[in-house]
Structure 1
C-alpha cells in the first residue's frame, strides 16, 4: 500500500507542476523587453535575429501561429511581445519583436529551464521563411 501513497504524491506533484506552467501569470514588465544588443545568434535559451522586414506583415504571420497570443505592445508602438505555448505541456516561450530603423529585431526565449532545444530558433526562422514566401 505504500507504493500507492507514493504514486498519489507523485501524481499530485506532477499536476501541481503542470498547473504552475500553464497558469503562472506573464508579467509584461518582465517579458516585454529587448536586450541592448541584438544580433543573429542562437543561445541555449533562445534565439535572436535581425532582418529587413515589415513589422505589420511579420505580426500577421506570427498571430497566425497556433497557441500564440500578444502579451504587450503593438505594430503602432514598434514593439510587440508574443507568448507561444507548447502543444502538450503548455510551456510558454516569449518572443519580442522591435522595429529599429529599417530592420526588425527578434528575441525569442524560454521561461522555464535552461535549454529550449532549438525550439525558439526553429519557430523564428519559420516565421521569417513564411514572411519571405508571402513576398
Structure 2
C-alpha cells in the first residue's frame, strides 16, 4: 500500500513539474502595458517596490532616456540565465521577458515599457501567490546593471 501511495505521489510531482515547464506561453496575456495603478498613489521613482507575487520599478528620465533604457535593459535581461524574450521589441516600446527558476522552471514574466516620463517595469509570477522575493531581487539586479550602481 505504501509503495502505491509513494508511486502516486511521485507521479503527481512529475505531472506538476511537466505542467509548469510545458504550460503554453500566451504573449497576449502577459505582454500587456504595466498598470499605472502601482504608481497612482505617488509611488517612488527609481526604487524597486516588492508586492505580493512580484515587483515593480519605475525609472525616471534622470536615469536615462526611456527608449535607451529599454534597449539596455533588453540586453541585460537576455544575458540573465534562463531568460528569453516572450514578446515585443525596443522599436515597439515594450518588451516582455520570461525567466524560469533553476529547479522547477517556474516562469516569471517581466514587462518593461518606455513612456515619455520614464521606463515602467512590472515583474510577476505565473503560478502561486508568493515569489519569495525573487522578482524584486531580479529587478534590483537589473537596475544596478542599468545605473552602474
Q: Which residue does 1:67 correspond to in 2? A: 82
Cα drift, residue 102 of structure 1: 4.0
Structure 2 residues without counterparts, runs of 5 or longer: none
Runs of 4+ in 1 over 4 A off after TM superposition: none
Q: State the alpha-carbon separation in 2 of the partners of residues 84 and 96 from structure 1.
A: 11
Residues 1:44 and 2:52 are matched in the alignment: yes
Q: How does 1:1-135 map to 2 (within 5 A)?
A: 2-33=1-32, 34-39=34-39, 40=44, 41-52=49-60, 53=64, 54-133=69-148
1:113 is paired with a residue whose SS is coil
Q: Contact 1:67–1:87 at 8 Å: present in 2 too?
A: yes
RMSD between superposed Cα atoms in Å? 1.3
Q: TM-score, normalised by structure 1?
A: 0.93
Q: Aligned residues, how many?
A: 133
Q: Contact 1:38–1:50 at 8 Å: present in 2 too?
A: no
1:47 is paired with a residue whose SS is strand
Cα drift, residue 36 of structure 1: 3.7
Q: State the alpha-carbon separation in 1 of the partners of residues 107 and 100 from structure 2.
A: 4
2:144 is paired with a residue whose SS is helix
2:148 is paired with a residue whose SS is helix
